[in-house]
A and B are shown apart, each in its own frame.
Chain A
Amino acid sequence: MCTELLRVEELKKYFPAKGVLFYNERGLRETGNIVHAVDGVSFSLDRNSTLGVVGESGCGKTTLARAVLMLTKPTSGSVFFDGQQLSHGNMKQVRRDMQIVFQDPFSSLDPRMRARDIVAEPLTVISEQAGEAKKRVEAIFEQVGLGVEHLNNYPNELSGGQRQRLAVGRAIVTRPKLVVLDEPTSALDASTQAQILNLLADLQDQHHMSYLFISHNVNVVRHMSNKIAVMYMGKIVETASAEELITRPRHPYTCALISSVPTLTKQDSERPFAIKGETPSAINPPPGCRYNPRCPYATDACKESEPKLEEMGTGHYVACYHPTNLSDQKVRLAAA
């Protein structure tokens, strides 16, 4: 069995921008007003490992998750899962193997369903025997640390942490090979977050699942991931193993992102990589490198053509014409 579980090639997802009432049959591109939510993303994910995707709001990380799962139809590009190319037509067979946990456990659970039915529902889709399903659901409750006394609760009777445990239970009940975790702890308090992160780590050790872990929180992504990909305006700008990326970032955006993470010690008011300005609109991305308007190292080359991801060191890919080097720049490390 090969170690690769998921491979994504040149995945793109464009949306018509708000305010566009119609567009002609020649397609979206003709209207000129399209949001480049995901714009040519490629990566692969091994079995029993975690790829963290980190980026700020609007960078396309959630759209990427949805497109990988075919919850939204990609504009172009391909997704290979377990050796098979995914398309809208053949999803029913692979759905049980790829599941998702959403950010907000208050809106992602049906308020009128009991906890046991929420977890059992995926099993009815894959036509599990009723008696078998009941046993499986109870076992899942134990595994996610909910306790069978909560089987008959409605979501509103559970705390945020318990609801997220329920959402995790729903995702793993079909024994998936891949679970997409879209900001699974962002709505939770620090102490609850630690409980859920530990639960996810334990479940991965037991069931050898792969995680696509999406978060804006650099410290959380670092903690959970083997590999990290940094997204900016619909593109992966840098990817490397978690420790390599955090301790030796090369892309100026990654450096800015990491040095913006507050630590428990007071930082100098002048940060080496304090970021200037705001993320430009994804409707009309700037030509060339998308980070060039904010980048302190930008040159004319950066405005003219777009840098491709290139390997700089083993397994460390950077899309930048002027990658920074830690030896001459003080990049403060994330986490105290």
Chain B
Amino acid sequence: MRGRFHALNGVRLDIAEGEVLGIVGESGCGKSSLALATIGLLPTSSRIIGGSEILFNGKNLLSMNDAEMERVRGTGISMIFQEPLTSLNPIFTIGDQLSEAVKIAAIRRHPELGASRRSSKEEFKKEAVSWLRKVGFPDPEHALERYPHELSGGMRQRVMISMALAESPKLMLADEPTSFLDVTTQAQILQLTSSLVRDAGASVMMISHDLAVVAQISDRVVVMYAGIVVEDAPIPEIYEKPLHPYTQALLSCLPKEGAGRRLEMIPGAPPSLREATRGCPYQPRCAYAKEICKGETPQLKEVSPGHHVACVLY
């Protein structure tokens, strides 16, 4: 396809140390692009517009070269993806892959270890076993010898979580980590992730299309639409008192108890983003749209402590 796709159009957000930030939005809203930009894995065909900044511990990730970024990945920022089968290497065992993560973390902590590799191989394996036990493998020694295809989806995602946390990152990006899983497995994985990141003291950017999934582990939620942040508020306030018309509509179109035969709907479809949108991107579908909404893109405003919304109504 030709032409540019305006995936992110001025996203502004922050994550505090130890905070779990949920990012929700429908497909195409830019939530995955945001995560990929943060860890420096956007496709080479993409372009980050001048003036953009992603500050990690005060350093701008976007101005780092490849070697600097490589050092940030893993020990600084790690990421887990939606489908663990495509992010695990099919021709290496779980043990090989997890030990490698453990080894990289160890070498970065103690560079002198790189020299005496043979003596530490057993230690890496031991640490890999302890990680697998932490993420709930009943028989970790046995699991080390398995290949990814021999594990269930839930078990593969447990491996991914252990690899992401083994390098003790400051920030973990989780892009729809449970969307491929069954609901009972999802409940297990969410509970596990929540307790492990709290133990590790890591911050998390938890991305999902599912508002309820995000509610389970987040402290604060950011709602994205067409490449911008439309609302940013703590839990449970954002679900109890949503302010942006899009957040309100998104919540009310979910099937739930007492919803009646017909659900609320959002008319129309999101903008294509093939061209830069003018004005509020939600305006064509918004029940409260006024003439002014077509003019300029509303900026995020703090309307009550910690509750930000980008809408002219406030």
Interface residue ranges, A against B (CB under 8 Å)? 56-57, 159, 161, 189-195, 197-198, 201-202, 216-220, 222-224, 256-257, 259-267, 269, 271, 274-275, 278, 333-336
How many angstroms between the C-alpha atoms of A275 and B183 in the bound complex?
Answer: 10
**How many positions in chain B have a CB within 8 Å of any CB in the partner chain?**
42
Q: Is the CB of A193 within 8 A of B190?
A: no
Let me know if A197 and B255 touch, CB within 8 A: yes
Which residues of B come within 8 Å of A, CB atoms? 26-27, 152, 154-155, 182-188, 190-191, 194-195, 209-213, 215-216, 235-236, 239, 249-251, 253-257, 259, 261-266, 269
- Give the distance in Å from the alpha carbon of A261 to the alpha carbon of B182 in the complex: 10
Contact B255 A222 (CB under 8 A): yes
Is the pair A191, B266 in contact by a Cβ cutoff of 8 Å? Answer: yes
Contacts known (A56-B182, A260-B184); A194 close to B215, Cβ less than 8 A: no
Contact A201 B261 (CB under 8 A): yes
Q: Which residue of A lies closest to B209 (CB)?
A: A189
Which A residues lie within 8 Å of B254 (CB)?
A: 190, 194, 219
Contact assessment for A269 and B250 in the assembled complex, using a CB-CB cutoff below 8 Å: no
Identify 22 residue pairs between A and B in the complex whose beta-carbon atoms are under 8 Å apart, listed by A's number: A57-B182, A189-B26, A190-B209, A191-B265, A192-B269, A194-B255, A216-B183, A219-B255, A259-B187, A260-B184, A260-B187, A262-B186, A264-B239, A265-B236, A266-B215, A266-B216, A269-B191, A269-B195, A271-B191, A278-B152, A278-B154, A336-B212
B18 to chain A, nearest CB (A): 17
Q: Give A36 to B168 CA distance when docked, in angstroms.
A: 43
User: Which of B184, B215, B239, B253 lies in contact with A257, CB distance below 8 A?
Assistant: B184
* Closest chain B residue, CB of each to CB of A276: B188
Tell whether A265 pairs with B215 under 8 Å between CB atoms, given A191-B253, A278-B154.
yes
Query: Which residues of the other chain, B, contact A275 by a CB distance below 8 angstroms?
Result: 184, 187-188
Given contacts A56-B182, A262-B186, A262-B210, 4 further A-B contacts (CB under 8 A): A56-B185, A198-B262, A265-B215, A275-B188
Least Cβ distance of B287 to chain A in Å? 13
Bound Cα distance from A266 to B191, whole angstroms:
11
Nearest chain-A residue to B212 (Cβ)?
A262
In the assembled complex, the Cα of A335 lies from the Cα of B263 at a distance in Å of: 14
Q: How far is the CA of A334 from the CA of B258 in the complex (A)?
A: 12
In the complex, how many angstroms separate the beta carbon of A56 from the nearest chain B beta carbon?
A: 4
Residue of A nearest to B252 (CB): A194
Q: Are B250 and A271 in contact (CB under 8 A)?
A: no
B residues less than 8 Å from A191 (CB atoms): 26, 249-250, 253, 265-266
Enumerate chain A residues within 8 angstroms of B239, measured Cβ to Cβ: 264-265, 336
Cross-chain contact B249 with A223 (CB below 8 angstroms): no
Name the residue of chain B whose CB is nearest to the CB of A333: B257
- Contacts known (A189-B209, A191-B26, A264-B239); A336 close to B182, Cβ less than 8 A: no
**Closest beta carbon of chain B to A168's beta carbon, Å:** 16
B-chain residues with CB within 8 Å of residue A274 when the two chains form the complex: 187-188, 191
